[in-house]
Structure 1
Amino acid sequence: MAFLTDLTARFKREHVTLALDDIQALILRSRPEPYVGLHAMLHIDDAEGGRDLIRRMAEHIPSAAGWTDDREAWMGMALSFQGLKALEVPQASLDSFPLPFQQGMAQRSEQLRDVGSNAPEHWDPAFQPGTCHLALTIYARDQAALDVAKAKAMDELGRSHGVTLVAQHAFGADADAKNPFGFRDSISQPSIAGSGIAPTPGQERAIAAGEFILGENSETGAPVAMPDPTELGRNGSFVVLRKYQSQVGAFNDFIRNQASSEADEELLAAKMVGRWRSGAPLVMSPDHDDATLGADPGRNNDFDFSKDPRGLLCPHAAHMRRLNPRDSQLTILTDINIHRIIRRSSTFGPKWQRSLTAQDDKGDSGIFFIFISARAYDTIEFFQQEWINRGNFIDLGEERDPLVGLQEPPGSFTIPETPVRRRIDGVNTFNRLRGGEYLFMPSLSALRWIGNADWR
């Protein structure tokens, strides 16, 4: 596995300053390519039974101490605020969590701009308020490895009482790791100081560990506020999970209606995303796709936008440039490094096909947009309010992200050109929100603290 070989070569244990043996591996360990996996959502009906399950399940969760090692599969575990409450975690600890986490994603719909077709009343039953208490994620190299890991998890669940499996959802992608729209996904990841891994070309400097790991110093020079007591908060992180149903056929139709040839279709799609389907960035290959570049982790993220200030190569409104402006000049200034996230998104449904139309959209394709950050809730609400559902920060008024924005017809997309920029109308909501939750991913010692009710 090329990505694992590259990690192993760049990992220097003498540069590690984080407590890797206490951090869940899923925080630092990227998914394999190809990958398969499972998301499971559970509801805790009985505190003692829930704590017993967590205590036993924690034994199956690997630490980040061997996050560069070869593994067939691994699991991560995270809890919602209502889940912690159902486990009877002390009120003083519950009160120490950030307010958005306490309220939950559904109650934060106004701040998240989750209205209209994306409003909570349209969400899947598993994500209705108070339903998802415990989320388990398994990543595996292949189906055989997933079956083994899933059997272990289901065996532990079967031995439990007072815990209900409310939903499970399989996901996966082939070696190209492409999302439902046919684009290579999750290429850009931050380098984390103290993890032992040197930055790859294009990652610039390592980001302060406290932007991702609670208890470590952040970009401000001090730790982000974490839950009390230290046994619960330290070495954990926060997680945002959002399930999107992708309108692949509608996206294809839109591209076809705006282009006069297949080559023009590919160029317009790349302009909307910021990369070609292979993952090759527009700023490095502006005129044609380059599959070799797209598949090369040493080059496909080695760029910035300093030589494209007008967006003639990669539009400012492109999905990729919006969510990681790098060194773009922004109308509304912000410190980009405190909005960096670890992406753990997963794709589900059939592979993209050019022939698909809107009539083929059956709700079977989509993306679990998952990210990890010590500032997760401030970050996602900032993204949703400013970078996704508004264009003021790039001087585009109310223009929204062409892929994940909630569009108000007629949605538009602006492509800078010479002598005047081109505006394309008719952009639809191509990814419809079908649920989500704010989660806390405890350290391994914190899982034991919860499982053993060590506050007693």
Structure 2
Amino acid sequence: MSPTHLLRRFRREDVSLQLDDIQALILRARPEPYVGLHAMVHFDEPDGGRDLIARLAEHIPSADDWAEDRHAWSGVALSFAGLRALGVPDASLESFPLPFQQGMAARAEQLRDHGENAPEDWEEAYRDQRCHLALTIYADNEDDLAQAVATAERELEASTGITVVGTHTFGVDERAENPFGYRDSISQPTVAGSGVAPQPGQERAIAAGEFILGENSETGAPVAMPSPDVLGRNGSFVVLRKYDSRVGAWNDFLRDHAGDEAAQDRLGAQMVGRWRSGAPLVLAPEGDDPALGADPTRNNDFDYADDTRGLVCPHSSHTRRLNPRFSETTILNDENIHRIIRRSSTFGPRWTRELTAADDHDDERGLFFIFISARAYDTIEFLQQEWINRGNFIDLGTERDPVVGLHDEPGTFTVPAEPARRRVPGVTTFNRLRGGEYMFMPSLSALAWLGRAGWQA
């Protein structure tokens, strides 16, 4: 969903949120096409970290910024270790959710991050709580990215007592494809009070408090917020997980279990839940429909109410697992409190059909799975435990997500059919976790408070 499309749906008179205090990356979509940079920073000493935050804060746009001539923008998030390194008082630190305090690596059991996804095998930038601050820059072309990166580098070089522990560039063309060649980040919730009208396929906007701290959530009350108010209000929580994608292994799997290219594309669409263009299976059951996939007014306008048996879109498909859309599940849940704002970013060369497992190399293709939610840690741990790495909620026992599930041993993918379902064997781990962290994305006023050590006033 491009910023231009969102802007067409924006009505200033419908705004009830403090947009001028909320970081733009929470509520404003990335461009398409896009290029960008993720940088991970370690605070060697408190004064240097606070100085850097104060410097960067001047370059972070707010969600109130709808300037059509903006071609690059940045966002900043902090880990618990980063807040502690800044000298934030214990009373404030202890007000954060326990999973955030512990960090992603320490929550490996809850996240089912074991085997080849275990923290001891992560990249150095994400180990031993090195990542204190994550800076993300998005741009719609290389020239604007270079200018924004140069600005960030000037601020980093002017700061002392900090160390850049990792950087990674990313980007996609106008097709906005993920590493496997499927159009990405189509389904996004509309946030009540943001001034943006719901898009087709959504009954209503989701309560702002599901994404913005201090606002009422779907329960009618705010989610617990860090203290003091200036630190927590208008912020949100972020999950960042970096994956290497085994695109060649994915291609090999499709070739091994389907006949010609058309059959391979159908099996892939059944595993993902959408065709490569982004057209959902339930709206294009006979084949891909690129016009539908590219139309933001239609490509998300569906649910699974008329496909209760999964004959069109299998229950175990990736997109159906992560957004059941009124599907019957054996584990009851409120879908609206598991909604997330996705800001994922793809890196590496585009997918091609010719790639094989022999072409898969570490850090060549992959994605940063990034999402924002006031309930981020409960949500990711629920998703990892129930919807991704189990199948009980759809009566499929131990069957895992065929795209992002961790498969210690080859698994299966079930395709409902008449007269008998088909079980496709040999599903492996197509996305290997290389690191991640639980982060907090402060408001703009909170960044200023952190930069000047407001707790000392």
Q: Is the 8 A contact 1:25 1:67 kept in 2?
A: no
Change (3 A) 1:48 1:365: same
Equivalent in the alignment of 1:335:
334
Equivalent in the alignment of 2:372:
372
Q: C-alpha deviations, 1:380-416, integer Å up to 9, x for none? A: 0000000000000000000000010001323100000
Long gaps (5+) in structure 2: none
SS of the aligned residue for 2:413 comes to strand
Equivalent in the alignment of 2:31:
32
- 1:121 has 2:123 as partner: no
Matched residue type, 1:56: R
1:369, 1:69 → 2: CA distance?
Answer: 27
By how many angstroms is 1:444 displaced?
0.2
Matched residue type, 2:53: I
- 1:104 has 2:110 as partner: no
Q: Is the 8 A contact 1:112 1:384 kept in 2?
A: yes
2:160, 2:387 → 1: CA distance?
Answer: 44
Q: Is the 8 A contact 1:28 1:67 kept in 2?
A: no
Matches within 5 A, 1:74-85: 74-85=73-84
1:6, 1:401 → 2: CA distance?
Answer: 31
Computed over aligned residues only, the root mean square deviation of the Cα atoms, in angstroms, reads 0.9
Equivalent in the alignment of 1:417:
417
Equivalent in the alignment of 1:234:
233
Change (3 A) 1:394 1:68: farther
By how many angstroms is 1:56 displaced?
1.1
Equivalent in the alignment of 2:427:
427
Equivalent in the alignment of 2:358:
359
Long gaps (5+) in structure 1: none
2:111, 2:313 → 1: CA distance?
Answer: 26
2:175, 2:200 → 1: CA distance?
Answer: 21
2:114, 2:264 → 1: CA distance?
Answer: 31
By how many angstroms is 1:68 displaced?
6.5
Equivalent in the alignment of 2:446:
446
SS of the aligned residue for 1:239 comes to strand
SS of the aligned residue for 2:337 comes to helix
Equivalent in the alignment of 1:201:
200
SS of the aligned residue for 2:230 comes to helix
- 1:271 has 2:273 as partner: no
Matched residue type, 2:233: R
Q: Is the 8 A contact 2:127 2:435 kept in 1?
A: yes
1:32, 1:203 → 2: CA distance?
Answer: 22
By how many angstroms is 1:255 displaced?
0.3
Matches within 5 A, 1:157-306: 157-306=156-305
SS of the aligned residue for 1:199 comes to coil
Equivalent in the alignment of 2:385:
385
Q: C-alpha deviations, 1:183-218, integer Å up to 9, x for none? A: 000000000000000001012210000000000000
State how many pairs are aligned: 455
Q: Is the 8 A contact 1:7 1:68 kept in 2?
A: no
Matched residue type, 2:367: I
Q: Is the 8 A contact 1:238 1:372 kept in 2?
A: yes
Q: C-alpha deviations, 1:196-250, integer Å up to 9, x for none? A: 0000101221000000000000000000001000000000000000000000000
1:300, 1:228 → 2: CA distance?
Answer: 40
1:373, 1:67 → 2: CA distance?
Answer: 22
Query: Share of identical aligned residues, percent?
Result: 70
SS of the aligned residue for 2:242 comes to strand
SS of the aligned residue for 1:251 comes to helix
- 1:136 has 2:135 as partner: yes
Q: Is the 8 A contact 2:3 2:30 kept in 1?
A: no
Q: Is the 8 A contact 1:240 1:439 kept in 2?
A: yes
Q: C-alpha deviations, 1:144-198, integer Å up to 9, x for none? A: 0000000000000000000000000000000000011000000000000000000
By how many angstroms is 1:446 displaced?
0.2
Q: Is the 8 A contact 1:27 1:342 kept in 2?
A: yes
Q: C-alpha deviations, 1:242-265, integer Å up to 9, x for none? A: 000000000000000001111000
Matched residue type, 2:343: R
Matched residue type, 1:107: A
Equivalent in the alignment of 2:58:
59
SS of the aligned residue for 2:225 comes to coil
Please give the TM-score of this superposition, normalised by the length of structure 1: 0.99
Matched residue type, 2:272: V
Q: Is the 8 A contact 1:189 1:343 kept in 2?
A: yes
Equivalent in the alignment of 2:401:
401
1:441, 1:4 → 2: CA distance?
Answer: 20
Q: Is the 8 A contact 1:211 1:373 kept in 2?
A: yes
- Structure 1 runs of 4+ aligned residues shifted over 6 Å read none
Q: Is the 8 A contact 1:104 1:129 kept in 2?
A: no
2:377, 2:439 → 1: CA distance?
Answer: 10
1:5, 1:149 → 2: CA distance?
Answer: 20
2:447, 2:84 → 1: CA distance?
Answer: 14
Q: Is the 8 A contact 2:272 2:319 kept in 1?
A: yes
By how many angstroms is 1:70 displaced?
4.1
Matched residue type, 2:29: S
2:137, 2:182 → 1: CA distance?
Answer: 23
Matched residue type, 1:399: E
- 1:311 has 2:306 as partner: no
SS of the aligned residue for 1:64 comes to coil
Please give the TM-score of this superposition, normalised by the length of structure 2: 0.99
